[in-house]
């Protein structure tokens, strides 16, 4: 496998930290401790990546492979991602506490501009057996899949090679008018993507 | 010459930026439901990061100003929500539940502070590195112009269903000298508008064709 460059790591921090915020809000909406725990795990991963990027960019500067400015940019972007990841963990922390969630939390998440939704894939659904890359749900329905549950296995931030199977539970984020479309597709009420 | 003399007498005119106005505005107590405050905070926290990245990617001070404004607004919301939460607590159980709300509010505020830090990267003038990194992200930020022959002209965003048909979220619209940030479904698109959007490559291709008039309908 090709070694990850510093830029790849920064990108991973950026994408993962944004995913974490979505997951953290989903954990509140569905009162789901498994998702909240995942946010915790991802935060540890980001901490490690952040440490790595700081060291590697400094080493690259020393070797003359990277300019000081470029290294600063990388570190600042990584730091922003790390702070966002921290914020996501604080949100998930509310779910993990042994206190019943205040109903307002759920209502606020539901009423915001971007909605979060959860739907189970019916065995007759057109989505079955296809990969996310082929379905292009993001550009066709506006809904981005942030997590999936396959039997007892969870998958967070699925990529284009991820296949949807009957019975999978999809967690998605997107505009209000895209939500219905995705649910109809999953329930086999429409075949039109 | 006269102009200069006048300036020496009265001083230089400087319009106060929106964020500064918000900062100096007296904090007045307005009872707003906690739910409304939290919803606005969550919405700002999601928008502000995209705006901050747009500001550095497109080297744009005006977007950066909006980020500063939202950051100050967020401080005010965070203050208001604390007061409202404290007044709502009657028992220990209330307090425990409300503490959770305040923690989420605090996290949203933290995200907006991060956006403020991202905007500072404007000073670095290091766009090549940034653009290269962003060009590989899952979701990217794009700038698209609306051409006269596009069916999008004079239509509402909600009617066009841009986000659900292409997955592209419109973060801001630039019309001549005016900016419309976080446009809602009632906002009307006009010819020559520049849209700042966030989404995938495929979504961008469709939307770009549509806004150039090469594609008649979005589906």
Determine contact: A5 vs chain B, CB below 8 A. no
Measured in angstroms, the CA of A174 and the nearest CA of chain B are apart by: 8
Measured in angstroms, the CA of A105 and the nearest CA of chain B are apart by: 6
C-alpha radius of gyration, chain B, whole number: 21
Note the pLDDT tens digit of each residue in B62-114. 999 999 999 999 999 999 999 999 999 999 999 999 999 999 999 999 999 99
Measured in angstroms, the CA of A101 and the nearest CA of chain B are apart by: 6
**In chain A, domain spans:** 6-105, 113-186
> Per CATH, which fold does A113-186 belong to?
Alpha-Beta Plaits (3.30.70)
Q: Can you read off the two tokens belonging to residue B98?
A: 């409300």
- Comparing CB atoms, the residue among A73, A90, A112 nearest residue B107 is A90
For residue A153, with 0-12 CB atoms within 10 Å meaning exposed, 13-18 middle and 19 or more buried, which class applies?
exposed
Determine contact: A21 vs chain B, CB below 8 A. yes
Measured in angstroms, the CA of A123 and the nearest CA of chain B are apart by: 24
What residues 26-65 of chain A have any CB closer than 8 A to a CB of chain B?
28
How do the pLDDT tens digits run along chain A, 193 residues long? 567 788 899 999 999 999 999 999 999 999 999 999 999 999 999 999 999 999 999 999 999 998 998 899 999 999 999 999 999 999 999 999 999 999 999 999 988 888 899 999 999 999 999 999 999 898 889 999 999 999 889 999 998 899 999 999 999 999 888 999 999 999 999 888 8
- Structural domain A6-105, CATH architecture: Up-down Bundle (1.20)
- Residue A164 carries which DSSP code? P
Among candidate residues A142, A115, A80, the one with its CA nearest the CA of residue B39: A115
Q: CB B3: neighbour CB atoms within 10 A?
A: 7
Measured in angstroms, the CA of B196 and the nearest CA of chain A are apart by: 16
The answer to whether the Cβ–Cβ distance between B110 and A99 falls below 8 Å is no
- Comparing CB atoms, the residue among A90, A99, A108 nearest residue B42 is A108
Distance (Å, rounded) from C-alpha B169 to C-alpha A25? 19
A7, A8, A81, A91: which to substitute to probe chain B, counting the most B Cβ within 10 Å?
A91
ipTM: 0.90
Nearest CA in chain A to B159: A177
What residues 145-184 of chain A have any CB closer than 8 A to a CB of chain B?
174-175, 177-178, 181
Nearest CA in chain B to A12: B137
Distance (Å, rounded) from C-alpha B124 to C-alpha B122? 5
pTM of structure: 0.89
Ordered domains of chain B (ranges, CATH): 16-124 (1.20.58.220), 138-211 (3.30.70.1450)
The answer to whether the Cβ–Cβ distance between A175 and B164 falls below 8 Å is yes
| DSSP 3-state of B176 | coil
The answer to whether the Cβ–Cβ distance between A107 and B161 falls below 8 Å is no
Question: Which whole-number Å values give the CA distances from B198 to A124, B65, B137, B168, in the listed order?
Answer: 33, 19, 11, 5
């Amino acid at each position: 496998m090709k070694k990850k460059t510093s830029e790849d790591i920064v990108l991973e921090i950026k994408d993962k930290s944004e995913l974490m915020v979505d997951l953290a809000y989903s954990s509140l909406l569905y009162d789901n401790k498994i998702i909240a725990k995942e946010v915790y795990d991802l935060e540890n991963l980001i901490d490690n990546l952040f440490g790595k990027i700081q060291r590697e960019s400094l080493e690259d500067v020393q070797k003359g492979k990277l300019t000081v400015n470029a290294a600063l940019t990388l570190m600042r972007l990584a730091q922003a991602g790390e702070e966002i990841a921290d914020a996501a963990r604080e949100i998930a922390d509310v779910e993990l506490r042994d206190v019943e969630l205040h109903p307002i939390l759920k209502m606020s998440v539901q009423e915001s501009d971007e909605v979060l939704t959860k739907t189970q894939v019916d065995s007759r659904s057109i989505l079955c057996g296809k990969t996310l890359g082929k379905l292009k749900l993001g550009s066709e329905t506006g809904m981005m899949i942030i997590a999936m549950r396959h039997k007892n296995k969870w998958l967070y931030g699925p990529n284009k090679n991820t296949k949807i199977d009957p019975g999978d539970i999809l967690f998605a984020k997107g505009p209000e008018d895209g939500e219905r479309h995705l649910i109809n597709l999953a329930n086999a009420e429409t075949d039109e993507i | 010459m006269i102009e200069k003399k006048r300036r020496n007498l009265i001083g230089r005119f400087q319009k106060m930026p929106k964020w500064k106005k918000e900062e100096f505005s007296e904090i007045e107590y307005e009872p707003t439901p906690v739910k409304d405050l939290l919803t606005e905070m969550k919405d700002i926290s999601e928008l502000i990061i995209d705006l901050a990245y747009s500001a550095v990617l497109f080297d744009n001070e005006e977007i950066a100003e909006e980020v500063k404004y939202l950051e100050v607004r967020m401080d005010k919301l965070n203050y208001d929500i604390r007061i409202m939460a404290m007044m709502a607590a009657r028992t220990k159980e209330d307090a425990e539940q409300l503490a959770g709300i305040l923690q989420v509010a605090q996290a949203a505020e933290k995200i907006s502070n991060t956006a403020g830090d991202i905007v500072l990267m404007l000073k670095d003038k290091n766009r090549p590195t940034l653009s290269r990194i962003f060009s590989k992200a899952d979701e990217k930020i794009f700038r698209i112009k609306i051409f006269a022959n596009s069916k999008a002209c004079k239509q509402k965003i909600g009617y066009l269903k841009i986000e659900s048909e292409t997955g592209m979220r419109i973060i801001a619209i630039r019309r001549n000298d005016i900016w419309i940030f976080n446009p809602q479904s009632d906002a009307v698109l006009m010819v020559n508008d520049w849209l700042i959007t966030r989404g995938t490559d495929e979504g961008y291709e469709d939307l770009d064709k549509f806004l150039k008039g090469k594609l008649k309908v979005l589906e």
